[in-house]
Structure 1
Amino acid sequence: MAGHSKWANIQHRKGRQDAKRGKLWTKIIREVTVAARAGGADPDANPRLRLAWDKATAANMPKDNIMRAIQRGAGGADDANYEEIRYEGYGVGGAAVLIDCMTDNRQRTVSEVRHALTKHGGNLGQDGCVAFMFKHCGQFIFAPGISEEKVMDVALENGAEDVQTDEEGVIEVICEPGQYAALKQAFDTAGLNPEIHGVIMKALSEVQLQGDDAERMQKIIDILEGLDDVQEVYTTAVMDDTE
């Protein structure tokens, strides 16, 4: 990986997310509320709510906050009528970008997303222009030092699709989205704690960016992630540490 290791990039991204925890919590609460409204208040019977719950606990959100969001969604107390929209576009150097949003005002959201992309050299594309560059899957990433053999045994016994270990010892486990909850439970039971986990859109290829290109791409991602209506940003770009 150009400039920095995969592990350095993972830690860098986590650091940026921690710095924006307040906004992250607000977005997760919205996700929990919408999931509870759509499928009910029981995480065991509502896979989407289970995913949102896991995301909330991974972000160290207090259980009381999660429960209030569930009750608000299941009870229909939240007046906002959110719709889910995915925008596709390009960043610096032709890197693909997927932007998943929840919004109560589609015109506002598309305007903000378009501005975020164009401000630093990207552009908004048509539906389907880059989605084929990503795979919808469950992902678990384990820190160097975790037993590869133990992770592989649990993964392959519980429906994992692929297990890869890089030269630093970072272990990545991929599964079908529907297998994510069972695999996470299996890892929890085995005492294996992934550094990152979730159901994501995983880039099938990467665009390496360095220097000014990396800085501009990071600015695009930061602006997008800072938008209230944006839930997740996925990209094929791999960047130097742009601190």
Structure 2
Amino acid sequence: MAGHSKWANIKHKKAAVDKKRGKIWTKLIREITVSAREGKTADPNAHPRLRLAVDKALGANMPKDTIEKACKRGAGELGAENYSEVTYEGYGPGGIAILVETTTDNINRTVAEIRHAFSKHGGNLGTSGSVAFMFQNLGILNFAPGADEEAIMEVTLEAGADDVIAAEDGSIEVLTTPANFGEVQNALVAAGFNPDDAEVTMRADNLSAVDLETAEKLIKLVDALEDLDDVQAVFTNAEWPDAMLDDEED
């Protein structure tokens, strides 16, 4: 089916990640460790979430021995890491809903740092359930303009994908449940289609438009949250102004 382009948003996200390359390794090591613990294995091929975390680490140029140690540590082969996964909810400037996923070994420290970031940048930390209902947990695989829509649709729908969306610019987005994400990704790779971007993420059901001034304030809050070592990901229901996305592409 047809849809609006997400490609500008993807490039915007990648640019933000590149600027924080120094911090990304710490976050990825935690994600690998927690994923290996969840799957009770150090083998990325045996657990889709661990495989995704390892792929991201390789994409961030993390040394293979560092990745292997994180896998083994999570699986309990090198001593256990006592990390907890906690999601915080709140509101940013303009009443924008925000989800903050964390991996922490000290919940008291983490909640204090997150509350401070919200307060400093015009937001409010909410209670559990205050905004989570506005988001869906989805597997998303993206292809740049020029990919073969019909072939990708045939492979992914047969493998259990929920939808295939073709944007006006020719980019393609494949949507799956988190449970089917690994199987769909494997089917695509086996058929010779390597996604340009693939992740299990939270997506807002409905976006809320913000003006440029509010967007700039919101970006400062999101940046402050993402700069915290315990924060793995930040999601909002903001519909960013075209002017902001255009600036990122220039």
* Equivalent position of 1:45 in the other structure: 46
> Within 1, Cα distance between the matches of 2:45 and 2:12?
33
Question: Is the 8 Å Cα contact of residues 145 and 172 (structure 2) preserved in structure 1?
Answer: yes
1:3-82 matched pairs, under 5 angstroms: 6-38=6-38, 39-75=40-76, 77=78, 80-82=81-83
Deviation at 1:79, TM superposition (A): 6.3
More off after superposition, 7-16 vs 74-83: 74-83
Please state whether the residue corresponding to 2:26 is helix, strand or coil.
helix
Secondary structure of the corresponding residue to residue 62 of structure 2: coil
Map 1:1-243 → 2, pairs under 5 A: 6-38=6-38, 39-75=40-76, 77=78, 80-240=81-241, 241=244
Residues 137 and 174 of structure 1 are in contact (CA less than 8 Å); yes or no, is this contact kept in structure 2? yes
| 1:83 to partner: Cα distance | 1.0
The letter for the 2-side match of 1:123 is N
Q: Which moved more, 1:55-64 or 1:28-37?
A: 55-64
Give the residue type in structure 1 aligned to 2:208: V
Specify the code of the residue in structure 2 equivalent to 1:19. Answer: K
Cα deviation, 1:109-161, whole Å, max 9, x if unaligned, reads 11111121222221111101111111112111111222222221221121110
Q: How big is each residue's C-alpha offset from its partner over 1:179-224, in whole Å with a ceiling of 9 and x where there is no partner?
A: 1111111121222222221111111111122311111111111111
Unaligned runs of 5+ in 2: none
SS of residue matched to 2:46: coil
Segment of structure 1 superposing worse, 99-108 or 45-54: 45-54
Q: Distance in 1 between matches of 2:191 and 2:60?
A: 22
Between the two proteins, what is the percent identity of the paired residues? 53
Specify the code of the residue in structure 2 equivalent to 1:37: R
Distance 1:127 1:168, change over 3 A: same
CA apart distance, 1:71: 2.1
What is the CA RMSD across the aligned residues, in angstroms? 2.0
Q: Distance in 2 between matches of 1:167 and 1:145?
A: 11
1:37–1:76 contact (8 Å) kept in structure 2: no
CA distance, structure 2, for counterparts of residue 226 and residue 153 of structure 1? 40
Aligned mates of 1:190, 1:58 — CA distance in 2 = 21
- TM-score, structure 2 length as denominator? 0.88
- Residue 8 of structure 1 aligns with an amino acid whose one-letter code is A
Aligned length: 240
Q: What CA distance in whole angstroms lies between the structure 1 residues aligned with 2:159 and 2:195?
A: 15
Could you say what secondary structure the match of 1:44 adopts? helix
Whether the 8 Å contact between 2:48 and 2:181 is mirrored in structure 1 is: no
